[in-house]
Structures are given as structure tokens and as C-alpha cells.
């Protein structure tokens, strides 16, 4: 399938592109079944440390914030969509469905064949290749499971977390396992913000001025749709104000000719993430398409 010229232009203009029906309803059903099997103990090899659970007993109250623009709050140097503070009671109520207790799942593709096949599927990788080029590695994949009444996800650029890559151009495919709406916390982007350059945390509130935040675009999607976004694109997601989970599976790809420049501390951390296939990060990430390069990922 790949990308049309118009879709490719949209990506480089806005920093993201929406792809409707990336997977079929049948594929979605199978993916959801395998997700449930993976996280509810059907695959004993899947380490518990890769699952983050929401514990209502230990859910601290939302931290004090100051208003930052009309629809956003600021906590220190972090900027969040407003609204999560209204759902303290709901968030503390124990859930009935065990899937609703899960907030994040790490590296499902390393343990489950259906997730693994999709990470390598031409319908995903052709799009990534149109953006990143022919040599592609998988950095990491994670399901943002956003339980009922979950908190917002702060504004960020993925590249801020990935300083161990010498390049600031990676691509994430986020595939929706559930419909994502403004009410349940769909992702929001600042179009064109991938052209702002790398913005460190301390500078973020000064970059996200009222004028910039006014350009925010919420991206509601149907289950089976996806977005592909640039690692410098500023994005966040709103609080889930509904009793229904909103799962988005983010698959992070990196060009295979990206130099690895991690510090010893970063290298130690990466080795613990469970995303490498080699002993070290250099030439250590799974090759998805094309070839490897010495000194690179």
C-alpha cells in the first residue's frame, strides 16, 4: 500500500499523517484476542514487569497545577490537557474488567506472534519506508492502554526521550485497538511542530505559548485506524473521561543508519527494556527491512 504523494506531503507538513483502516476488522479482532491472552496470563513467558497496572488503592490525587492557556494545565515544566482533576472518585473505583486495570504494556511484539507479524507487515513497513527510507529497525513497541478515567499524557516530543540516537527523525505508527475520541483521550498534535527542533523539558512551557497551543489538533480515530508521526512532533493525549478503555499500540521505528551515541547509563537502561536482539545497542535492534550499518542501531 505505502503512502500516496499527498499523504507523504501531509506527514512532512504536519509531522503526522492519519491512515484509515490500516488493519481489517478481522485482523483487529485477532489482535484484541491476542492482547487479552498476553496480558491476562495466557502466555506464561511474558514477564509481569512489562505490564503496568493501575492500582486504585495507590492512586495519588492529581498534583496541583496552574492554568497554562485556556485548555491546558502546567505542572513544573510539564504541560497537560485539562480535565483529569474532575475524575478523582471514578479513578479510585475498582474496575470489573481486568483489562481496564492495565495502563501500559511493553514490547508485546517480542512475545506474541500476531503483534510481531504486524510490526513486520508490508502494510505498516511500506509506509515507514516511504518516510524513513529502505533500511529500518524496530526500536520499541508499547500499548498505551489508557484505562477508564485515566489521566492525560503530557505534551512531549519522542526525541526528547531518545537522546541516544544521533538523529532526531524516527517514526511511530500508533494503531488503535479501540475507537479514540476527544472524550476518551485521543492523541493531539501541534501541526508543523516537528520543524521547531528539539525542545527540552525546561523550555517546553515557553515553546507551548497560548498561540501555539491554540493550533492543537485532536485526532479522533476508529479502531483499526493509525497515525504515523515524526519523533519531533509535539503531541499529548487528553484524560479519559469515560468508563471505557482506549488502547493505542505505538510501534517506534528507526532508520538502520542511525548512529547509537548512548551514555553508559542509557546503555544500561536500554539493555533492561527488552527491545534488543543483540548483546549491545550497536547493531542490537531487530532489523525489519534492508540492511545494517556499522556503529549504528
Ligand X SMILES: O=C(O)CCC(=O)C(=O)O
Residues of this chain that interact with ligand X (CB under 6 A) are 144, 146, 153, 158, 172, 174, 187, 235, 237, 248, 250
Q: Is residue 264 a contact partner of residue 168, using CB atoms and an 8 Å limit?
A: no
Query: Alpha carbon of 71 to those of 66, 84, 85, 210: distances in Å?
Result: 11, 12, 13, 10
Q: Report, in Å, the least distance between residue 70 CB and ligand X.
A: 21
Q: Report, in Å, the least distance between residue 295 CB and ligand X.
A: 26
Cell of 241: 473521561
By 3-state DSSP, what share of the chain in percent is helix, strand and coil, each rounded to 5?
A: 30, 25, 45
Helix (H, G, I), strand (E, B), or coil: what is residue 255? Answer: strand
Which C-beta is closer to ligand X: that of 104 or that of 292? 104
Query: Alpha carbon of 213 to those of 12, 68, 155, 189: distances in Å?
Result: 20, 9, 10, 9
Which C-beta is closer to ligand X: that of 174 or that of 181? 174
Which C-beta is closer to ligand X: that of 135 or that of 157? 157
Which C-beta is closer to ligand X: that of 146 or that of 289? 146
- Residues near 89 by beta carbon (within 8 Å), at least 6 away in sequence: none
Helix (H, G, I), strand (E, B), or coil: what is residue 87? Answer: helix
Q: Report, in Å, the least distance between residue 156 CB and ligand X.
A: 7
Which C-beta is closer to ligand X: that of 158 or that of 178? 158
Q: Report, in Å, the least distance between residue 112 CB and ligand X.
A: 19
Which C-beta is closer to ligand X: that of 175 or that of 283? 175
Which C-beta is closer to ligand X: that of 28 or that of 232? 232
CA distance 96 to 77: 36
What is the per-residue burial (b if ≥16 Cβ within 10 Å, else e) of 206-243?
ebbeeebbeebeebebebbbbbbbbbbbbbbbbbbbbe
Q: Report, in Å, the least distance between residue 125 CB and ligand X.
A: 17
Q: Report, in Å, the least distance between residue 63 CB and ligand X.
A: 18
Q: Which residues pair with 39 in a beta bridge?
A: none
Amino acid at each position: 500500500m505505502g503512502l500516496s504523494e499527498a499523504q507523504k506531503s501531509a506527514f512532512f507538513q504536519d509531522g503526522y499523517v492519519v491512515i484509515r483502516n490500516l488493519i481489517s476488522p478481522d485482523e483487529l479482532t485477532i489482535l484484541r484476542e491476542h492482547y487479552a491472552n498476553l496480558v491476562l496470563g495466557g502466555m506464561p513467558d511474558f514477564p509481569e514487569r512489562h505490564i503496568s497496572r493501575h492500582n486504585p488503592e495507590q492512586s495519588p490525587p492529581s498534583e496541583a497545577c496552574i492554568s497554562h492557556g485556556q485548555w491546558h494545565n502546567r505542572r513544573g515544566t510539564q504541560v497537560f490537557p485539562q480535565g483529569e482533576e474532575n475524575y478523582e472518585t471514578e479513578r479510585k473505583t475498582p474496575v470489573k474488567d481486568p483489562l481496564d486495570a492495565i495502563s501500559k504494556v511493553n514490547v508485546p511484539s517480542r512475545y506474541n506472534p500476531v503483534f510481531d507479524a504486524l510490526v513486520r507487515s508490508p502494510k505498516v513497513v511500506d509506509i515507514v519506508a516511504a518516510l524513513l527510507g529502505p533500511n529500518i529497525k524496530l526500536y520499541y513497541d508499547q500499548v498505551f492502554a489508557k484505562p477508564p478515567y485515566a489521566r492525560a499524557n503530557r505534551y512531549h516530543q519522542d526525541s526528547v526521550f531518545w537522546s541516544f540516537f544521533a538523529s532526531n527523525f524516527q517514526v511511530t505508527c500508533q494503531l488503535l485497538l479501540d475507537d479514540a475520541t476527544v472524550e476518551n483521550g485521543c492523541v493531539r498534535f501541534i501541526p508543523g511542530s516537528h520543524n521547531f527542533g528539539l525542545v527540552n523539558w525546561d523550555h517546553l512551557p515557553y515553546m507551548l505559548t497560548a498561540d501555539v497551543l491554540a493550533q492543537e489538533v485532536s485526532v479522533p480515530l476508529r479502531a483499526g485506524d493509525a497515525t504515523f508521526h515524526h519523533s519531533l512532533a509535539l503531541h499529548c493525549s487528553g484524560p479519559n473521561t469515560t468508563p471505557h478503555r482506549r488502547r493505542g499500540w505505538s510501534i517506534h521505528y528507526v532508520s538502520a543508519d542511525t548512529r547509537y551515541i548512548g551514555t553508559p547509563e542509557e546503555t544500561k537502561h536500554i539493555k533492561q527494556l527488552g527491545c534488543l536482539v543483540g548483546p549491545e545497542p550497536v547493531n542490537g535492534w531487530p532489523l525489519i527491512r534492508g540492511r545494517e550499518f556499522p556503529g549504528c542501531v
